[in-house]
Amino acid sequence: MEKKISILDIIKSRRSTRRFKTDMLPDEDLNAVLEAARWAPSGDNKQPWKFIVIKNKETMMKIVELSPLKGFHAFLRNGPVLIAILVNSKRSKWVVLDGAICAQNLMLEAWARGLGTCFSSWYPTMPSSIAKEVKELLDIPDNWIIITFTPLGYPVDDPERAYILPAKRKPLERLVCYEKFEG
């Protein structure tokens, strides 16, 4: 009998992936990952997002070069695909939250298909002068916010190279209280 995979299995096993095989993924998987992002909830159902699919290695390299966090962002050029998740700042007050939820949808569908991703820190910490240069590079209009860039591709086989950081989580007892705040 086919074993059912629960969404919790996917959530718990997903790892931020920073090293990828060079293989390109099928369009079907790319579209499914974008489709998962499209179906994210959003405030007032504004769907304030847009995704840029980048396959050009030179563009990936330029983005890494422009980032002041070179070491921390070097993995952005490692995948066969790089996806920018953007939100339109004019659509509502919640666009940043919408964009973050959308990113998680995308990352989980990717993982369910054997594909790795890694959220990178852009909004709100990227200096505006750098964000502006990256937006110019990608023809992104002023009123759009870059929430994140994530690479997308098949993780290399060696987990230590693929994921780098350990997958630890705080125990649930330290995070949950009942009826009133405790601790």
**Shorter beta-carbon distance to ligand FMN: residue 26 or 68:** 68
Q: How far is the CB of 15 from ligand FMN (least distance, A)?
A: 4
Q: 61-99 in b/e burial notation, b at 16+ Cβ within 10 A? A: ebbbebbeeeeebebbbbbbbbbbbbbbeebbeebbebb
Kindly compute the dihedral angle of the four CA atoms of residues 120, 125, 126, 129, in this order, to the nearest 10 degrees. Answer: 170
Q: How far is the CB of 16 from ligand FMN (least distance, A)?
A: 3
- The token pair at 108 is 């989980």
**Shorter beta-carbon distance to ligand FMN: residue 17 or 88:** 17
- Residues in contact with ligand FMN by the rule CB under 6 A: 15-16, 18, 72-73, 75, 118-121, 163, 165, 167
DSSP string, 111-136: HHTT-EE-----TTTS-HHHHHHHHH
**Shorter beta-carbon distance to ligand FMN: residue 141 or 171:** 171
Q: How far is the CB of 111 from ligand FMN (least distance, A)?
A: 10
Q: How far is the CB of 2 from ligand FMN (least distance, A)?
A: 27
Q: How far is the CB of 182 from ligand FMN (least distance, A)?
A: 26
Q: How far is the CB of 161 from ligand FMN (least distance, A)?
A: 13
**Shorter beta-carbon distance to ligand FMN: residue 19 or 135:** 19
**Shorter beta-carbon distance to ligand FMN: residue 31 or 145:** 145
CB atoms within 10 A of CB 4: 6
Tokens 């240069």, residue located: 133
**Shorter beta-carbon distance to ligand FMN: residue 11 or 137:** 11
Tokens 């502006």, residue located: 132
Tokens 């997958």, residue located: 167
Candidates 104, 101, 96; CA nearest to 150 is: 104
